[in-house]
Amino acid sequence: MILDIATRVESPKRGGAERPYRGPVRSLVCEGIVAVAMLEFDLDDEGLCSNFSLESMDRRMAGESAVVIKAERKLAALQKSEGALIMHHGRRDLAALRLAALRHFHFSIGGAVDWLIDAHGGYFDLVTMLCSGTGEEEEFGALVDRFGGGLKSPRAMPVGPVRRERVMAEVNVVQAMMVYLHLVAEIRRSFQPLSLGMMALTDFISSKSTSAPHLAQLLETEVFKTFDTIPF
C-alpha cells in the first residue's frame, strides 16, 4: 500500500478536531491531519503490480477523527497481513498521525505507532530508496521536483468533484506508484515490472476519468506519454 497523509500545522484549539484538545497532550505541537489517500495493489513474486484500488478521505467529509481512524485501521490491517507500506518522507507523516490519534484518544488501534516501532521489514521510503548512499535524504523535496516533466504538481490539477486536499493526496500516491514501479524494475533488473505495471496503472486511472479528472490528467504527463510509444 502507498499512503499519503496531508498535514497542516495549526492552533492546538482547532487542529481539524471536533472539539478543543484536552488532557496531557494539549501541549503537543499540533499538526492536523487534513486528508489521507491509500493506493493498494497486489505484488506477485515476479515483481508485477496489479489490481489497484484507491481510497481517500478529507476531514471536511467527517472530521479529523474519522480520517485518523480510517488511516489507523488501514495501517493496522496492513501490518497484520504483513503487507508492504510505501511512503515519501513517511516517518514524519506517521508521527503526525500517531499524535493525532493521541489527541482524539484513539488508543486501541495502534496503526501508526506499530509501524514506527516495528515495521517487520515491510516499510519502504521512496526518499531512502532514491538517495541511498548519497547523503541527500534530508534535502530531498517533493518527487515532482526531482523528476521534472515526468511528474506533475498536484497543486496544478483540476479539482472536479473532489476537494483540493484529497486531490493532492490522491495525485501524490499515484505518482509515488509511478516512481516505485521504476525502482521495482531496477531491483529486478527487468523492464517487465515497469512496463506491465504502468499498463495496469493506466487502465486503473482511465477507469476513474469521470469521478477523478485530476488523475486522468496524469495520463498527459511525460511518463505516460513515453509508455504510449514503447512497443512492449
Total number of domains in the chain: 1
Q: What residues make up the domain containing 114?
A: 2-228
**Amino acid letter for position 176:** A
Sequence-ordered list of residues with C-beta below 8 angstroms from that of 82, at least 6 positions apart, any chain = 120, 122
**pTM, rounded to two decimals:** 0.81
Residue 159 banded pLDDT, cuts 50, 70, 90: low
Mean predicted confidence (pLDDT) in 15-36? 60
Mean predicted confidence (pLDDT) in 26-53? 85
CATH code for position 166: 3.30.420
Contact 204, 218 (CB under 8 A): no
Contact 67, 36 (CB under 8 A): yes
For 57, the 3-state DSSP assignment is: strand
For 133, the 3-state DSSP assignment is: coil
Average pLDDT, the chain: 81
